[in-house]
Amino acid sequence: MRLFFYLLSPFKLKIGYFFCDLVSFIIFILNTNIVKISRGNINIAYKQNSAEENEILIRNSVKQSIRSYYETLYCLSRDQNSISKCIFKVENRFLSTQTKRDSGLILFSGHNRSIDMLLNHVTNYEKITGIFKPIKIKAFDVFVKKSRKRSGSDVFETNFSGVKELFSALRENKTIAMAADQVPADKMGVFASFFGKDAYTTNLIPSLHSKTKSPIVSVAIHLDNETNNLYVRYNSKFPFIENKEFDARSMNREIEKIIDTNPADYNWEYKRFKKNPEKNSNVYK
């Protein structure tokens, strides 16, 4: 299986990006669903921009999304040391400078470039407990889980049992990590503002924080536009303590800050607003 992913990503990232950009050009010309969904999301999030500005952002976003898929394939076919060399700098080196904690730690991010590339970076410093949606093709699901566990981290499915594992890990002063911008299942989230529009949002992280008082740190991977290199940025350090409210809106606001660092890095092709209070409304028509 590893060879299969290697054959899909045989080049180093910068060379692979060249071929990804050719693919993204074709996708944009064909106006595929990736383009249409990205256009809908970006026009909502950056409604203050001109139509021309947003079209440029949409084009760049599609390009970076295709690149991020290549980054994931690259991660699944290389060893951890090789992947780590793809990150040329880390801003706010939180995990490498922290002292011993007396509590658990909650790390969260959005779908900014490759989650696997970010996970590889984090597990250089911490063994984490995470939850992920299973892949529909079983063979791929087994391999990806194994790949994500290779640093000694624990990975569970996004279900009730997985949530219990997160809670237990925090109680044992361990670190948990998850992407917090996917649309949760019915009755598993709340509506909260995201770029000025109500979006159905998981309240799992606020709930875990409330029950365990574990500090929260957001982290993301970005592309440096001048050098075409990847870097990791920790966007906050222990800002949400026991006496400070942290809810779904606070979490969305933190994800907005991550995205605003370089909006093209975000995977805008997810239907983030597919559930909204106006049940008959569909922003992706």
Quote the CA–CA distance of 202 and 131 in Å, as a whole number.
Answer: 13
> Residue 237 pLDDT more than 70?
no
What is residue 100's predicted lDDT score, i.e. its pLDDT? 63
The mean pLDDT value for 181-190 works out to 90
The mean pLDDT value for 11-28 works out to 96
Label residues 208-241 b or e (16+ Cβ within 10 Å = b).
bbeebebbbbbbbbbbeeeeeebbbbbbbeeebe
The residue extents of the domains of the chain are 2-265
What is residue 236's predicted lDDT score, i.e. its pLDDT? 64
Label residues 33-66 b or e (16+ Cβ within 10 Å = b).
ebbebbbbbbbbbbeeeeeeebeebbbbbbbbbb
What is residue 95's predicted lDDT score, i.e. its pLDDT? 73
What is residue 259's predicted lDDT score, i.e. its pLDDT? 96
What is residue 188's predicted lDDT score, i.e. its pLDDT? 87
> Residue 102 pLDDT more than 90?
no
pLDDT digits (tens, 9 = 90+) for 22-79: 999 999 999 999 999 999 999 999 999 999 999 999 999 999 999 999 999 999 999 9
The mean pLDDT value for 4-26 works out to 96
E strands, 42-127, in order: 87-91, 105-109
> Residue 99 pLDDT more than 70?
no
The helix/strand/coil state of 123 is coil
Quote the CA–CA distance of 251 and 271 in Å, as a whole number.
Answer: 18
pLDDT digits (tens, 9 = 90+) for 128-155: 999 988 888 889 989 998 888 877 789 9
**Percentage with pLDDT > 90 across the chain:** 68
